[in-house]
Structure 1
Amino acid sequence: MTAGPVLALRGVSKRFGAVQALTDIQLEVTAGEVLALVGDNGAGKSTLIKAIAGVHQPDDGVIEWEGRPVTVHRPQDAQNLGVATVYQDLALCDNLDVVGNLFLGRELTRFGVLDEVAMEKRSRALLDTLSIRIPSVRIPIASLSGGQRQVVAIARSLIGSPKVVLLDEPTAALGVEQTAQVLDLVERLRDQGLAVLLISHNMADVMAVADRVAVLRLGRNNGVFARRSTTQEEIISAITGATDNAVTRRQARGTEGSA
């Protein structure tokens, strides 16, 4: 792990007309860790991710990469730094096979012709490294399950050898087994030394794989929690901005009943 954060946001703010989407956001992501970003709808999670990914430019504040300020005007700038983003829609092409999707826009050529052999070999090697189980790298994406499609999209983000991977709700709408497959992959990314920023509404997923949990509320920081020393109830309280909610009341009733 590096001595300092790979990616840091220092006082980042973003406005859309009269709407203040983000205010003075502070965030650090370190190599070899999974940082979960949580918050209610409208908390600013999507805006923050798009600011890091180069879709939106912050109005105030600084984005730092390995300790130095950088300017991210467009998605290509973020990719060049080493930031890979996997959005919810995955942006996969159903009519292409796994190889075609992995190298879409980054095709390998030899003597001006697509080098299918080299791309297939690299695809197999990448999937093997990540322990991703796919029937064949030549199977059409349309034939894969939701979980398999998700891990292919994550694998594709690694083609450019990024240092930070942003995952936007990677387990949304997946079943139990498919969710487990994706979470296993998230852990393998961490084990390989990547910094992973995981956006999720699923607290069970967050508690399963995150090292730290950063909470956004109404576009502002509302706490960063070490997963091993916090509880799901404490995080939910930070998300909702109240210590009295349905979850904490249930917990209190359970404590009283066992007394």
Structure 2
Amino acid sequence: MSVSSNAPTVLKARGLRKQYGHVVALDGADFDVRAGEILAVIGDNGAGKSSLIKALSGALSPDAGEIQLDGRTVRFASPADARAAGIETVYQDLALAPAMSIAENLFLGREVRRAGLAGSMFRQLDRPRMQREAADALTALGVNIRSIEQAVETLSGGQRQGIAVARSAAFARHVVILDEPTAALGVRESGMVLDLITRVRDRGLSVVLISHNMPHVFQLADRIHIQRLGKRAALVDTASISMTDAVAVMTGADAPS
């Protein structure tokens, strides 16, 4: 499903700057992701991709610049602020608790308490509701697991990635940011995750995909944000650029057209 060029911009940044002593991580970086698109972010090591994503997800406070969500300026003091605004991020470590169940992981940090005094006074959790909603979330995204009660440590790498992505999709209202989601996976499990990313987008969410895997980028992305030397070097439609040219812009071998 291609995204119209007239689709509104959901998340936007202008002139983001972040400096650590003499090291400039972001040097006036811009960013745009449209509603319902998959936007790939690529760049060489040290290009500022991680700093950019951390600024957009509330894990980093930029020294200068502006971030807008749905046209309104926002300031995220923490990742919790970004999550409350509807932006979910899945980092490479997945932030899963291996010994806990799938349902418990989906609601980790957002546990649902039982109604009435049992929840308000005795802080008892509504486990049946969490299990039911977790199962519904996984089913909606086509994530196949044996039991919602099984421990995450019993899952394969691809299944764990699926749980992390499903958790983000269940709570995101605007954007899901995925940091190298297939980096440690084999061919079959990578295919499962790529299909999952497409299903997340098909639910109307914008997906920001940070990846070094160029075939995956060109397979999935509607547009490509090329980061270089702390700023955006180019923002191009995937169909309008070759993989070779994208790498050339990314490495500085060629100027963006």
**TM-score above 0.5:** yes
Shift of 1:222: 1.1
Tell me the amino acid that sits aligned with residue 251 of structure 2. Answer: T
Q: SS of the counterpart of 2:51?
A: helix
Q: Is the 8 A contact 1:79 1:162 kept in 2?
A: no
User: Which of residues 60, 79, 84 is equivalent to 1:56?
Assistant: 60
Please state whether the residue corresponding to 1:159 is helix, strand or coil: helix
Distance in 1, Cα, partners of 2:78 & 2:153: 30
Q: Distance in 1 between matches of 2:69 and 2:52?
A: 16
Give the aligned residue type for 1:203. Answer: M
Partner residue, 1:25:
29
Does the 8 Å CA contact 1:8/1:27 hold for their aligned counterparts? Answer: yes
Matched, 1:95 2:99: yes
Query: Are 2:232 and 1:228 aligned?
Result: no
Aligned residues: 244
2:213 to 202, 205, 216: 202
Question: Unaligned 5+ residue runs, structure 1?
Answer: 245-259
Aligned counterpart in structure 2 of residue 121 of structure 1, from 99, 122, 132: 132
Q: Write the distance in 1 (CA, Å) between the matches of 2:22 and 2:14.
A: 22
Partner letter of residue 224 of structure 1? L
Question: For 1:156-206, what per-residue CA distance to the aligned partner results, in whole angstroms no more than 9, with x for missing partners?
Answer: 123323310110000011000100011101111111110111000000110
Q: 2:119 aligned with 1:108, yes or no?
A: no
- Does the alignment pair 1:215 with 2:219? no
Q: TM-score normalised to the size of structure 1? A: 0.91
Among the aligned pairs, what percent are the same residue? 47
Residue of structure 2 in register with 1:183 after alignment = 194
Q: Which whole-Å CA distance do the structure 2 matches of 1:231 and 1:191 have between them?
A: 25
Select the residue among 3, 6, 19 that pairs with 1:15: 19
Partner of 1:240: 251
**What SS is found at the alignment partner of 2:170?**
coil
Q: What TM-score, normalized by structure 2, do the two folds share?
A: 0.92
In structure 2, C-alpha distance between the alignment counterparts of 1:23 and 1:243, rounded to whole Å? 20
- Residues of 1 paired with 2:47 and 2:143: CA distance? 33
Report the Cα distance in structure 2 between the residues aligned to 1:79 and 1:174, rounded to whole angstroms: 27
Deviation at 1:218, TM superposition (A): 1.2
1:216 deviation in Å?
0.6
| Alpha-carbon distance in structure 2 between the residues aligned to 1:192 and 1:160 | 12
Q: Which amino acid aligns with 1:33?
A: E
RMSD, aligned α-carbons: 1.4
Give the conservation status (yes or no) of the 8 Å contact 1:86–1:166: yes
* 1:70 aligned partner, one-letter code: V
Q: In the aligned structure 1, how far is the partner of 2:28 from the partner of 2:108?
A: 37
Q: Describe the SS at the equivalent of 2:110.
A: coil
What residue number does 1:151 align with?
A: 162
Q: C-alpha offsets along residues 66-95 of structure 1, whole Å, 9 cap, x if unaligned?
A: 011111111111111111010000011111
- In 1, the alpha carbon distance for the partners of 2:111 and 2:59 equals 24
CA distance in 1, matches of 2:225, 2:70: 20
Match of 1:65 among 62, 69, 73: 69
Q: Which amino acid aligns with 1:56?
A: L
**In 1, are the aligned partners of 2:7 and 2:35 still within 8 Å (CA)?**
no
Give the Å deviation of 1:3: 4.5
Matched, 1:86 2:90: yes
- Please point out which of 128, 131, 148 is paired with 1:137: 148
User: Which ranges in structure 2 are unaligned for 5 or more consecutive residues?
Assistant: none
CA distance in 1, matches of 2:251, 2:218: 17
Q: Distance in 1 between matches of 2:82 and 2:131?
A: 27
